Structure 1
Amino acid sequence: MGKGTRLSGATLLVTGGGSGLGRRLALGAARRGSRVVIWDVDAAAGEAVRDEIRAVGAQAEAHAVDVTDREAVKGAAVGTGPVDVLVNNAGVVSGQRLLDATEEAIQRTMDVNVMALYWVTRAFLGGMAQRGHGTVVTVASAAGMVGVARQTDYSASKFAAFGFTESLRAELRADHTGVNTLVVCPYYINTGMFDGVQTRWPRLLPILEEEDVAAEVLDAIEAGRRKLVLPPLVNLLPVLRILPVGVFDRLMDVLGVNRTMDHFTGRSGSRAGEPIG
């Protein structure tokens, strides 16, 4: 484990914070005493979450930012100021076969899920390193640990997100910056983004609830963890690659991993505005 970041009194920025897991992370961090900054390409969604947080007396602000736009990111970072925790959460998925996805959709997946990691992290990392503390969180996916059918662009982008965080961690440790990194690799989360996905063994590979994942991510930030994989069985999937290819393929068939997207009807977004309970 690395050096954790206490959320009480910290400034936490979450990209894609207007919906889904990002919204839950924003609300949860506010409850723990953080000043929360929400970046979302949907101004109304970000402002709605900001207002939810302010309604309970906590600090929050929202900025409409397209994280794929380098100049927009730089400008928004100046307006935001220093942060203690950066959560790279914004993400999109097409859920289509390679030959069915449009070129524009594939490019958008890579721009949001991969390139934005560089632009947003670069905007805040220097300040963290100068202050000698902070945490950079990257929300990757179980799809970043083992490739899944009908997700060639999404899986590739999440493999890249995992590698980005791992390499960044090595760099920060070598430079003795005191900045921690956390990569989060959950199985499917019940946000609406993956509506229609099916799991053959729900007790082993369940569809996760966003509030549960958010709580575990916030706990991991404070504990200084390096990696969070949910559920734990997902840790075993990459290990299966040491088996002969035919055996690996058969096990993936038994687990039903490559059939999860057969009835996919999801979208990029979530149930923003639902009661949080």
Structure 2
Amino acid sequence: MALRIAAAGGRVALWDIDEAGLARVRDEIAAAGGQAVAIPCNLADRAAIANAAQRTLDELGSVDILINNAGIVSGQNLLEVSDEQIELTFDVNTLALFWTARAFLPAMLQRDHGHIVTIASAGGIAGTARLVDYCSSKFAAVGFDDSLRAELNSLGSKVRTTVVCPYYIDTGMFAGVSTRFPFLLPILKPEKTVRRILGAITGNKRRVIMPWFVYTTYLLRLAPVAVSDWLLDFFGVTHSMDRFIGRKS
């Protein structure tokens, strides 16, 4: 995503806890003629986020588009995952949304221009086994976007928000997951997902759900819980994490 934004002329501030990975992407952008700064940041640390935000403003000036794309997953049952991992999941997947928005939104409101993009998950619409902590954090992310959008609308602001709710993406984060009907619920390709996200940003689309079949989750809300649970099981969602491996590094 950063490569495409830089290729389109955007100046990019890259944040990550992985300094080597940051440098690699920054150098790749520079080699292609783009402009990027690499800012190491632990998104589970509110003070680190504040420092990274200030450095971003110092080096690049105003921020027009904030893309909250960080996320972690444990892939464990509720009684197996540690207390510390649960807290870390919410720190990165949920609370970081608040701290980054609070860092950059004031200037956006002053300019009456800006866009805050929240990369949530289909797991923020429907929960599943072995993802209790993850899905809960992503439900909160979807609620964050809904509420922030309402707040901006109430202010009459032109600052926009977009929430993205993709099914599993083939990035390694969810290595080992399975899909029973890949023609309905495919494991998404990163490049296609990036195109959809960037298209939503340029088109000021408020919500992106991928693939289209995930939209049926809203219909399940109208069905009795037993029926909804049966359908999620039938389509393989409930057991999609049974062979989860995850990213090893």
Query: What displacement does 1:267 show?
Result: 2.6
Query: What displacement does 1:68 show?
Result: 2.1
Using the size of structure 1 for normalisation, the TM-score is: 0.87
Q: CA separation in 2, counterparts of 1:59 and 1:226?
A: 28
Q: CA separation in 1, counterparts of 2:248 and 2:144?
A: 22
Partner of 2:221, secondary structure, is helix
1:131 and 2:111 equivalent? yes
1:47 and 2:23 equivalent? yes
Q: Deviations over 1:108-137 (max 9, x none)?
A: 101100111111111001111111111000
1:151 and 2:131 equivalent? yes
Using the size of structure 2 for normalisation, the TM-score is: 0.96
Q: Deviations over 1:25-44 (max 9, x none)?
A: 10111122111110001111
Q: CA separation in 1, counterparts of 2:248 and 2:138?
A: 15
Partner of 2:228: 248
Q: 2:3 aligns with which of 20, 27, 31?
A: 27
Q: Deviations over 1:148-199 (max 9, x none)?
A: 1110000000000000001000001111221000000000000000000000
1:205 and 2:185 equivalent? yes
Query: What displacement does 1:211 show?
Result: 1.0
Does the Cα contact within 8 Å between 1:67 and 1:119 map onto a contact in 2? no
Q: Which runs of 4+ in 1 moved over 4 A?
A: none
The residue correspondences of 1:1-277 to structure 2 (distance < 5 A) are 25-81=1-57, 82-267=62-247
The gaps in structure 2 that reach 5 residues or longer are none
Question: Percent of counterpart pairs with the same letter?
Answer: 51
Larger RCO (alpha carbons 8 Å, 6+ apart): 1
Opposite residue 38 of structure 1, the aligned amino acid is: L
The gaps in structure 1 that reach 5 residues or longer are 1-24, 270-277
Task: Give the aligned length.
Answer: 245
Opposite residue 90 of structure 1, the aligned amino acid is: A
